């Protein structure tokens, strides 16, 4: 590794990968460089055109608001062959009716931008849990969040119970293109799983507290592990479209946190530690799954930004300088909340495009979805194997 050529300040960051016996040297700030390949690439950019440029008891119910008719959550074509229990039982007590505290928290119509401090999560999660438990008894071991264009893994879930987001208390329908927007419970590779097909983003106008509710719900339903996936832009110039990157660490550049406001000590601590937030043992498990399936996996740091606009080329260079290898508009808040509620976290970014400025072409959501469709099956293979091999 070339650490001398730039006159940059050298420091050793011992925190980035504590599982490594070796510390990871960085050179700052003379360019976004950690090795010669990246330095050369960035030099090229500089001289080119880019440079200018409560809790509820377990109550049965549908989870709808008082006065609303129960909706049939279980007929969703394309989600496997069979479905879980059908209509809510006639004697159903609606969870929000039975819990005035939770009822008072959920506006009608739902305002997804309304701040949800941590202290409100227990009552909301109780209502969500009750709505799920009215439909299925499955206790998941693993939760999986499927990002843009990666929803195909949901087709592999056996005996799925599919619940559209909008059928769950306090959840709006998903709006992001490429996001189906439903919660699935079923079996994958011999394990009980809960899956989020699509997710909530802050750029849709959702409060961070809503964005992270799915992972908090995973924990509440029994999961111990969460696998977060996303589509991302390549910030490491070597990470072209189709690269799969196991997330080693993240940079939360959203300026948001789901932990703002009064805490819910029964869920997690006020001051959440994020050392090893991306669990080294699970990362190794993902890498082993990749080897077993003959799928190449890189490792790197994911930078989470608010979006929804893509980055400028200069922002991509900045992210490289900060130590990022990929950039996207999700995942980091979910990781924070998952650690807060005690989930072990791992994840994979599917690089759908080179970061802005690298190719000289404009970025489009269509190319993101197309690359997701192309590489999604490879990622699905890795996750299936990872789940199968979990102890």
Residue closer to ligand HPA by CB (options 267, 335) is 335
Distance (Å, whole) CA 242 – CA 377: 11
327 binds ligand HPA (CB under 6 A): yes
Q: For residue 318, count CB atoms less than 10 angstroms from its CB and return exposed for 0-12, middle for 13-18, buried for 19 or more.
A: middle
CB closest to ligand HPA, residue no: 233
Work out which of 186, 313, 355, 357 binds ligand HPA, going by CB under 6 A: 355
For residues 162 and 317, which CB has a smaller minimum distance to ligand HPA in the complex?
317
Query: Quick one: which of 353, 375, 376, 385 contacts ligand HPA (CB under 6 A)?
Result: 353
Catalytic residue among 23, 365, 367, 370: 365
Compute the distance between CA of residue 353 and CA of residue 350 in angstroms, rounded to an integer: 9
358 binds ligand HPA (CB under 6 A): no
Catalytic residue among 129, 204, 315, 334: 204
**Closest separation in Å from C-beta 363 to ligand HPA:** 6
Active site (annotated) includes residue 298 = no
Cβ 187 vs Cβ 157: under 8 Å:
yes
**Any catalytic annotation for residue 201?**
yes
CB contact at 8 A, 241 and 358? no
Where are the strands (E) in the chain, listed by range?
9-13, 24-28, 142-146, 158-164, 182-188, 191-197, 225-234, 244-252, 298-304, 326-328, 344-354
Residues 82-101 that bind ligand HPA (CB under 6 A): none
Q: 3-class SS at 56?
A: coil
User: Among 73, 363, 369, 379, which residue sits at the site for ligand HPA (rule: CB under 6 A)?
Assistant: 363
Rounded to an integer, what distance in angstroms lies between the CA atom of residue 143 and that of residue 121?
18
Minimum Å gap between C-beta 23 and ligand HPA is 29
Nearest-angstrom CA–CA distance, 51 and 212 = 37
Contact indicator for 123, 105 with CB cutoff of 8 Å: yes
Q: Considering only 64-72, 81-89, 226-234, 317-325, which stretch makes contact with ligand HPA by CB under 6 A?
A: 226-234
* Active-site choice (32, 41, 120, 201): 201
**Do you find a cis peptide bond into 308, omega within 30 degrees of 0?**
yes
Residue 370 annotated as catalytic: no
| 148 in catalytic set | yes
Q: Cβ of residue 328: shortest distance to ligand HPA, in angstroms?
A: 4
The values of phi and psi at residue 98, to 5°, are -80, -10
Active centre residues (catalytic): 148, 179, 201, 203-204, 231, 329-330, 353, 365
Q: Which residues bind ligand HPA (CB under 6 A)?
A: 231-233, 310-311, 327-329, 352-353, 355, 363, 368
């Amino acid at each position: 590794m070339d650490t001398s050529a730039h006159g940059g300040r050298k420091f050793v960051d011992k925190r980035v990968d504590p599982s490594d016996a070796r510390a990871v040297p960085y050179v700052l700030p003379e360019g976004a460089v950690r090795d010669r390949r990246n330095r050369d690439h960035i030099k090229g950019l500089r001289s080119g055109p880019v440079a200018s440029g409560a809790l509820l008891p377990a109550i049965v119910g549908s989870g709808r608001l008082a006065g609303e008719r129960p909706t049939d959550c279980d007929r969703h074509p394309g989600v496997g062959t069979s479905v879980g229990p059908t209509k809510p039982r006639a004697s159903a007590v609606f969870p929000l009716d039975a819990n005035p505290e939770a009822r008072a928290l959920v506006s009608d119509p739902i305002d997804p931008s309304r701040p949800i401090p941590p202290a409100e999560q227990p009552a909301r999660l109780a209502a969500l849990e009750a709505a799920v438990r009215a439909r299925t008894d499955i206790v998941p071991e693993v939760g999986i969040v499927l990002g843009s264009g990666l929803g195909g893994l949901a087709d592999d879930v056996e005996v799925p119970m599919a619940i559209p987001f909008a059928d769950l208390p306090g959840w709006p329908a998903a709006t992001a293109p490429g996001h189906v927007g439903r919660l699935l419970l079923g079996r994958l590779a011999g394990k009980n799983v809960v899956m989020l097909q699509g997710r909530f983003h802050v750029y849709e106008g959702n409060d961070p507290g809503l964005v992270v509710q799915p992972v908090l719900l995973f924990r509440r339903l029994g999961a111990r592990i969460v696998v977060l996936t996303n589509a991302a832009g390549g910030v490491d110039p070597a990470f072209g479209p189709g690269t799969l990157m196991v997330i080693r660490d993240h940079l939360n550049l959203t300026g948001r946190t789901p932990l703002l406001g009064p805490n819910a000590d029964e869920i997690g601590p006020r001051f959440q530690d994020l050392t090893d937030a991306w669990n080294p043992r699970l990362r190794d498990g993902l890498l082993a799954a990749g080897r077993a399936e003959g799928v190449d996996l890189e490792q790197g740091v994911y930078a989470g930004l608010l979006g929804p606009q893509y980055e400028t080329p200069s922002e991509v260079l900045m992210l490289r300088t900060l130590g990022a290898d990929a950039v996207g508009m999700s995942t980091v808040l979910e990781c924070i909340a998952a650690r807060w509620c005690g989930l072990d976290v791992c994840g994979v970014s599917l690089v759908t495009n080179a970061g802005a400025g690298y190719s000289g072409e404009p970025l489009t959501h269509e190319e993101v979805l197309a690359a997701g469709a192309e590489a999604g099956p490879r990622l699905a293979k890795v996750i299936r194997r990872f789940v199968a091999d979990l102890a």
